[in-house]
Structure 1
Amino acid sequence: MRSLQILLVAGLTLVLCACASRPVTASRAPLLLISVDGLRPGDITPNSMPNLSQLATTGVRAEGMRPSYPSLTFPNHYTLVTGLRPDHHGVTHNSMWDVELGEFSVSNRNAVGDGRWWGGEPVWIGADKAGLRTAVLYWPGSEAEIGGVRPHRWQPYDESTSDAWRANTVAKWLTEATSTRPDFVAMYFNRVDSASHDHGPNSAQADTARREIDSAIGQLVGQLQARNMFERTNIVIVSDHGFADVSPGHAIAVEDMISIQAARADSTGQVVTFAPNAGFEAEARRRLLGRHHHYQCWNKTELPADWHYGTHPRVPPIVCQMDMGWDALPRDQVARRMTAGPRGSHGFDPGLPQMRASFIAHGPAFKSGMQLPVFDNVDVYPLLMKLLRLKPAPNDGSARTFDAVLSGH
């Protein structure tokens, strides 16, 4: 009899240990994070984006969301999932230079997949540590092994995949059996950003891209509804930045700002950074610092305080910010711009209304018909961790921003 008791106790102990090591996910609402790159808050209307508009009406919508500096794609996507300013997580620009790692650009697949560029702890790592399942489709940073961890499901970025394919892929993940269904899913749509760059954010092409992405999201929602998963899933829809019109010819040559003999330009576009060459430090400061026609330059230690930027070693010594509606490009690209039509750009001061990003939330954790004032995008990460019932890693944001719109579920 005593032997039987010992076996029963041992068996019960094993069961309890197994339960303790595996989170109970049945009562945890799945979390879906969607990014529509470059989507402005004012573009979400019942006419052009009826599905997103419906989610906003029956959920939570923000007047706008301030991107972090610089208001560029990779820095802000990684801020959204870490809660850290770019100056703290290390993805300080779409184009960077690191003494040990060399050059980073969004088109450099080796660099994008190198976890040494990506600091902080994105949501999928925190979820993995807690034993949750994660699936990420194309989110910047998800291709890299960060701290030895990748999302459980991820794919190399492929711009050619359609919006409908992306939506269907995520819908399949979220409608799997509980035993395999991811607890956290993130996905990325790029075509609004691409069309807004090439033709302007108010162009017919940008409007078409918005409608197509809205339709894809509607298909995703429809598939969730068909499997009784929609009302059980928390959905957070964001963008990384807004957009401004750039008129034909509104570009200056980087070479006219300072010679390549005097300084190396580590990034161009709207946030233009320079590393003075040896022996040319004084000339570079004299030539660049201060106010110029269409731009202004600072020492990295003297940038505006509300940008929270300039302490990371990947930020070059001199940072120049273009005025809204102007770009700084290599001379050969400027020549092509002179005959091109209207375009769009971002990367301007994130405090400008035109740079505001979008935020919509819907699901069991959120009240219906609520609106938030403009807030900083660093607050999204602690919200995501709260929705997953996980302790956030150290970050620059606060989930208190959302107290008034959470239902208490």
Structure 2
Amino acid sequence: MRLAAFATLAATALLAACSHVPSQAPQDDPIVLMIGLDGLRYDAIDRWDAPNLQALAERGTRPERMIPVMPSKTFVNFYSIATGLYPEHHGMISNSPWDAAAERHFNNAEGSPQDPFWWQGEPVWITAERQGLRSHIMFWLGSESPVDGDMASVWHPYEHNKPYDERVDEVLAWFDAPAGEQPRFAAVYFDHVDTVTHRAGPFTPEEGQAVAEVDRLVGEIVDGLEERGLLDRTNIIIVSDHGMSAVSTERVIRIDELADLDGILFEEGMGSYGMGLEPFLMGYGSEEDVNRVYQALQGADPRIMAYRRQDYPDHWHFDHPDRGPDLFILAQPDWLITTSSTDLSNPYHASLHGMHGYDNRAESMGATFIGAGPVFPQGTRPTAFENVNVYGIIACALDLEPAQTDGDPAEIARITGGNCPAE
């Protein structure tokens, strides 16, 4: 039964990690450590050598893939993982949403990552804090913003260039603190695979090197937990936000050559650099203008589909009341949308060989989930599941009373082999 619905590229350097009053915890209480590996396709560790990730899968569970929410973008999905909510309920419907009611555009440089206006729902670190468990978070989407004044015990403004080994060192240092100051829930984010495969594309040697690097980092974290005597009571959860599809400037659709776009505001064109190469466009305008463009695009090119707000497929779940677009134009995987003014010879565009954001049920958008620890059965490979169930798995592992989410208790029970029974 479905429960009731309800990287950043720049950040301020003015805030340091923030701390709350520590709570005491028994030495054998369970721990959850969630590691976010941006852009790690569901099949990447089958195609490349990843001994540490494979070892976690062998002693735990690895579903065949994790289904991202729509659209299959980073901010959208890492926040759905954190809250257990679809974008229509948590409000982060793209990497830089437009709120039509407030006429506001999410902007990293203007402090949007710290602004509670953009981040709705209750992230799992807030659930933990409100029930007396410390949470330490490094660079997870949404962790910079308070929820009714509450934040994780430790959190950081995003630093894209913070060396990965320093991230590992700090995570392990959290567990060197006195017992009452250690986290019961911890999370850390690594962008590496996504950053590399946007440029090189999936199925390339560069992807393999990136997978090897994050596998090394995961191995160091696992070894560090074992050295500290914490591995047996730690549930390690590996998640990615989406997969990756191979793209090229030879597979581009110039949308303004198919329809007159006057009167439509496209969120993707609102940034400093204008329209780039996109897997989709979110448009806002009057009913008349939306219908005109929608009709012009019907059958105009088989590689794109246009949807009006009332026509979205049921499985998308991103029709937020204030931020859902009036018109959504979606390319097929491997294709990109732009306008005739875009210079495809620009080195930034020309070097783009990987993209995500396509239909969340597309196989190439499949994400990774690996869970190893007390709450997970050993060596299982369940069928695919939706990422809105991760919150519930974490809540169960920590014996938390969950907030209302879009997760399915039956799915949570299935992925955990019945260790989190549906009630």
TM-score, scaled relative to structure 2: 0.85
Alignment-mate amino acid for residue 103 of structure 1: H
Aligned counterparts of 2:66 and 2:302: Cα–Cα separation in 1:
29
Aligned to 1:62: 63
Query: Deviations along 1:163-198, whole A, 9 cap, x unmatched?
Result: 221112111113432111011101111010011111
Alignment-mate amino acid for residue 306 of structure 1: H
Question: Secondary structure of 2:97's partner?
Answer: strand
Question: Secondary structure of 2:413's partner?
Answer: helix
Note the C-alpha offset of 1:260: 5.2
Aligned counterparts of 2:287 and 2:55: Cα–Cα separation in 1:
57
Aligned counterparts of 1:278 and 1:398: Cα–Cα separation in 2:
35
Aligned counterparts of 1:220 and 1:23: Cα–Cα separation in 2:
24
Query: Deviations along 1:180-230, whole A, 9 cap, x unmatched?
Result: 101110111101001111110122222211111111111111111111111
Aligned counterparts of 1:334 and 1:384: Cα–Cα separation in 2:
45
Q: Does the C-alpha gap of structure 1 residues 229 and 199 become closer, same or farther in structure 2, counting only changes over 3 Å?
A: same
Aligned to 1:358: 368
Aligned to 2:379: 369
Q: Does the C-alpha gap of structure 1 residues 367 and 86 become closer, same or farther in structure 2, counting only changes over 3 Å?
A: same
Aligned counterparts of 2:110 and 2:203: Cα–Cα separation in 1:
31
Question: Is there any run of 5+ residues in structure 2 with no aligned partner, and where?
Answer: 1-21, 270-277
Alignment of 1:148-167 (within 5 A): 148-167=149-168
Question: Is there any run of 5+ residues in structure 1 with no aligned partner, and where?
Answer: 1-20
Aligned to 1:343: 353
Aligned counterparts of 1:88 and 1:286: Cα–Cα separation in 2:
29
Note the C-alpha offset of 1:108: 3.8
Q: Does the C-alpha gap of structure 1 residues 83 and 278 become closer, same or farther in structure 2, counting only changes over 3 Å?
A: closer
Q: Does the C-alpha gap of structure 1 residues 291 and 255 become closer, same or farther in structure 2, counting only changes over 3 Å?
A: closer
Question: Secondary structure of 1:95's partner?
Answer: coil
Q: Decide whether the 8 Å contact of 2:67 with 2:385 is kept in 1.
A: yes
Aligned counterparts of 2:248 and 2:343: Cα–Cα separation in 1:
13
Q: CA RMSD in A?
A: 2.4
Aligned counterparts of 2:190 and 2:89: Cα–Cα separation in 1:
26
Q: Does the C-alpha gap of structure 1 residues 44 and 175 become closer, same or farther in structure 2, counting only changes over 3 Å?
A: farther
Q: Does the C-alpha gap of structure 1 residues 235 and 257 become closer, same or farther in structure 2, counting only changes over 3 Å?
A: farther
Note the C-alpha offset of 1:281: 4.6
Aligned to 2:402: 392
Note the C-alpha offset of 1:157: 0.9
Aligned to 2:328: 319
Aligned to 1:100: 102
Farther-moved stretch of structure 1 (271-280 vs 183-192): 271-280
Query: Deviations along 1:314-352, whole A, 9 cap, x unmatched?
Result: 012111111111111354545236982560111111111
Farther-moved stretch of structure 1 (139-148 vs 236-245): 139-148
Q: Does the C-alpha gap of structure 1 residues 289 and 177 become closer, same or farther in structure 2, counting only changes over 3 Å?
A: farther
Q: Decide whether the 8 Å contact of 1:132 with 1:183 is kept in 2.
A: yes
Q: Does the C-alpha gap of structure 1 residues 253 and 175 become closer, same or farther in structure 2, counting only changes over 3 Å?
A: farther
Aligned to 2:127: 126
Query: Deviations along 1:86-141, whole A, 9 cap, x unmatched?
Result: 11111011121113261115x44511221110111000111111111111111111
Alignment of 1:3-402 (within 5 A): 24-45=25-46, 48-98=49-99, 99-100=101-102, 102-105=104-107, 107-108=108-109, 110-259=111-260, 261-267=262-268, 269-276=278-285, 280-288=289-297, 292-336=301-345, 340=350, 343-402=353-412
Question: Secondary structure of 2:305's partner?
Answer: strand
Q: Does the C-alpha gap of structure 1 residues 125 and 25 become closer, same or farther in structure 2, counting only changes over 3 Å?
A: farther
Note the C-alpha offset of 1:367: 2.2
Q: Does the C-alpha gap of structure 1 residues 254 and 231 become closer, same or farther in structure 2, counting only changes over 3 Å?
A: same
Q: Could you say which structure has the larger radius of gyration?
A: 1
Q: Decide whether the 8 Å contact of 1:249 with 1:337 is kept in 2.
A: no
Question: Secondary structure of 2:283's partner?
Answer: strand
Query: Deviations along 1:224-247, whole A, 9 cap, x unmatched?
Result: 111111122111111111111113
Q: Does the C-alpha gap of structure 1 residues 238 and 282 become closer, same or farther in structure 2, counting only changes over 3 Å?
A: closer
Q: Does the C-alpha gap of structure 1 residues 257 and 316 become closer, same or farther in structure 2, counting only changes over 3 Å?
A: farther
Aligned counterparts of 2:299 and 2:388: Cα–Cα separation in 1:
29
Alignment-mate amino acid for residue 349 of structure 1: D
Q: Does the C-alpha gap of structure 1 residues 347 and 295 become closer, same or farther in structure 2, counting only changes over 3 Å?
A: same
Aligned counterparts of 1:135 and 1:27: Cα–Cα separation in 2:
18
Q: Decide whether the 8 Å contact of 1:83 with 1:378 is kept in 2.
A: yes
Query: Which of the pair is proportionally richer in strand?
Result: 1
Query: Deviations along 1:17-68, whole A, 9 cap, x unmatched?
Result: xxxx967443421110111011012111495211111110111111001111
- Give aligned-pair identity as a percent: 31
Question: Secondary structure of 2:33's partner?
Answer: strand
Aligned to 1:11: none
Note the C-alpha offset of 1:358: 0.5
Aligned residues: 388
Q: Does the C-alpha gap of structure 1 residues 327 and 147 become closer, same or farther in structure 2, counting only changes over 3 Å?
A: farther
TM-score, scaled relative to structure 1: 0.88
Aligned to 1:9: none
